[in-house]
Amino acid sequence: MQLDKIVHFHKTVGDKTRIQIIALLKDGPLHGQAIAGKLGLTPPTISYHLTKLKEIDVIFQRRDKNTIYFHLNEKTLVLMAEAILRIGGEKEMDEFKVNDQERYNVIQNFFASDGTLISIPAQRKKKLIVLEHLVRGLQKGKTYQEKEINDYIKPFHEDFATIRREFVMGGFMTRQNGEYELNPESLWLIQ
Amino acid sequence: MQLDKIVHFHKTVGDKTRIQIIALLKDGPLHGQAIAGKLGLTPPTISYHLTKLKEIDVIFQRRDKNTIYFHLNEKTLVLMAEAILRIGGEKEMDEFKVNDQERYNVIQNFFASDGTLISIPAQRKKKLIVLEHLVRGLQKGKTYQEKEINDYIKPFHEDFATIRREFVMGGFMTRQNGEYELNPESLWLIQ
DNA sequence: TCACTAATTAGATTATAATCTAATTAGATA
DNA sequence: TATCTAATTAGATTATAATCTAATTAGTGA
């Protein structure tokens, strides 16, 4: 990730009004006038700030009749907020690079012959391999309800809730308004 | 965490020069003139930016003879970078709140009578209880070398490396320049 | 105490940024 | 097409911020 993009993100987000907008939208989408009302500012001012937030891709909009609702894009918010922590640390990713033999062994050890998951590895590297294996059956770009994810996981392991959370914590999926989506940048850490 | 503090953090970090300083210090401490040289700016300008970065507590200094070395405080960098993700989400922490009975049961199940750890729970909530239990023997405010942490863990479990990493990933400890320290805000999640 | 080195503060300049009012545009619907 | 509503753009004003040179301070060591 290039430095300028990170700077732009923080510069944009480093403003009281814009942080307040982000905080408001965490509770769900709102239209411009509503935001202006809640913050005691005029619609043009809100428009100005929304444009800035759109530039860094942390909000998107959807029109309903005359009214445009602004939504928080939590996916990029997470990605960008954590980018500063990764500066200069790209090399350390090597620790998690995995070859086919390694992956094969882990899959053999942690999955039974009927395909069910025997246990979740404690070692981070192995856990990532297992999670990545599990997640492969999900479709890129599709959004899933929580229940759909649970039903997908159940055949592998009864503790679907833990695994669903691991998907998110491991960066494989992102959650937004209770909907889940595969993180396209995620079939990567490994390999 | 109050909004103003988050705004201040991002405003400060949203500047090319200051991000460059952070990037430089990730590779280790440097003195003012060195930073000025590397960035092609004058010492007063660097002084100005360092003051800003000190305000948000992401750098600290240590004097050696005539020269002051500036160090990156990765601990607060992580804490503050992720604060924006937690806005309005304090309620969700409840999921991890634990009562004494619950804790007692988990400790009974996962630790043998001689105090050694039998296995690492897969469920996040239980894992946190176990990690918190393990970490209690460490001193607040003290910095440990990696070897010291390993030696501390060994009597509980042979796979000290995994557990040491879990300490960091679970937010119980922070690592800086190969030194480890208990995270004061961490005996918290639980309870 | 005096001289040296590195860091900081003062003061000025220039560039950015936030906000407002007024005017304009984009879409929806009768 | 005419009209309504909500959003955006234009233009002006005011407040902040980044950087420099020059002057000052803080700390070290002879």
The predicted-structure confidence for A74-106, as pLDDT tens digits, reads as follows: 888 988 999 999 887 654 445 555 677 777 788
Q: Which of A67-76, A80-89, A116-125, B16-25 is predicted least confidently?
A: A116-125
Residue B4 has pLDDT above 80, yes or no: yes
What is the pLDDT, as a whole number, of residue A170? 66
Q: Which amino acid is at B97?
A: K
Please state, in angstroms and rounded to a whole number, the distance separating the CA atoms of residues B155 and B126.
20
Give the CATH architecture of domain A91-186: Orthogonal Bundle (1.10)
- Quick one: how far is CA A4 from the chain centroid? 22
Same-fold call for A3-78 versus A91-186: yes
What is the pLDDT, as a whole number, of residue B27? 86
Answer yes or no: do B123 and A87 touch at CB < 8 A: no
**Which of the listed ranges A6-20, A116-130, A141-155 does the model predict with the highest average pLDDT?**
A6-20
Quote the mean pLDDT of chain A: 81
More reliable by pLDDT, B50 or B103: B50
Q: What is the DSSP letter of B139?
A: P
Please state, in angstroms and rounded to a whole number, the distance separating the CA atoms of residues A116 and B22.
45
Please state, in angstroms and rounded to a whole number, the distance separating the CA atoms of residues A36 and A68.
13
Answer yes or no: do B16 and A10 touch at CB < 8 A: no
Q: In terms of CA atoms, which chain B residue is nearest residue A8?
A: B14
Answer yes or no: do A3 and B26 touch at CB < 8 A: no
Residue B160 has pLDDT above 70, yes or no: yes
pLDDT tier, B36 (very low <50, low <70, confident <90, very high otherwise): very high
Q: Which of A64-73, B23-32, B69-78, B168-177 is predicted least confidently?
A: B168-177
Residue B132 has pLDDT above 90, yes or no: no
Which residues from 12-31 of A have any strand C atom under 7 Å from their CB?
A: 15-17
What is the pLDDT, as a whole number, of residue A92? 47
**Which of the listed ranges A66-70, A108-112, A186-190 does the model predict with the highest average pLDDT?**
A66-70
CATH topology (fold) of A3-78:
Arc Repressor Mutant, subunit A (1.10.10)
- Asked if A30 and A41 touch (Cβ cutoff 8 Å), the reply is no
- The domain segmentation of chain A, as residue ranges, is 3-78, 91-186
Please state, in angstroms and rounded to a whole number, the distance separating the CA atoms of residues A167 and A173.
6
More reliable by pLDDT, B137 or A71: A71
Please state, in angstroms and rounded to a whole number, the distance separating the CA atoms of residues A14 and A26.
17
Residue B75 has pLDDT above 90, yes or no: no
Residue A45, nucleotide of least CA–C1' distance: C19
Residue A19 has pLDDT above 90, yes or no: yes
Nucleotides of C under 7 A from a protein CB: 4-10, 17-23, 26-29
Residue B11 has pLDDT above 90, yes or no: yes
How distant is the Cα of A66 from the closest Cα of chain B, in angstroms?
29
Please state, in angstroms and rounded to a whole number, the distance separating the CA atoms of residues B116 and B153.
10
pLDDT tier, A158 (very low <50, low <70, confident <90, very high otherwise): confident
- Asked if A29 and A23 touch (Cβ cutoff 8 Å), the reply is no
What is the pLDDT, as a whole number, of residue A135? 79
What is the pLDDT, as a whole number, of residue A163? 83
Residue B106 has pLDDT above 80, yes or no: yes
Q: Which of A68-72, A80-84, A88-92, B96-100 is predicted least confidently?
A: A88-92
What is the pLDDT, as a whole number, of residue A51? 92
What is the pLDDT, as a whole number, of residue B21? 93
What is the pLDDT, as a whole number, of residue B189? 44
Token couple for B178: 């190969």
Buried b (16+ CB within 10 A) or exposed e, A88-97: eeeeeeeeee
Token couple for B70: 């500036």
Among A1, A7, A20, A24, the residue to mutate for chain B (most B Cβ within 10 A): A7
More reliable by pLDDT, B9 or B172: B9
Residue A18 has pLDDT above 90, yes or no: yes
Q: Which string of DSSP letters, residue by residue, matches A30-88?
A: EEHHHHHHHHT--HHHHHHHHHHHHHTTSEEEEEETTEEEEEE-HHHHHHHHTHHHHTT
Residue A24 has pLDDT above 80, yes or no: yes
Average pLDDT estimate for B69-77: 90
* pTM assigned to the model: 0.64
* Phi–psi pair at B31, nearest 5 degrees: -95, 165
More reliable by pLDDT, B167 or B20: B20
* Phi–psi pair at B178, nearest 5 degrees: 75, 0
Quote the mean pLDDT of chain B: 81
More reliable by pLDDT, B16 or A142: B16
What is the pLDDT, as a whole number, of residue A189? 44
| Percent of chain B whose predicted confidence (pLDDT) is above 70 | 84
Q: How far is CA A98 from CA A71, A102, A153, A182, B138, in A?
A: 37, 6, 24, 21, 34
Q: Which amino acid is at A1?
A: M
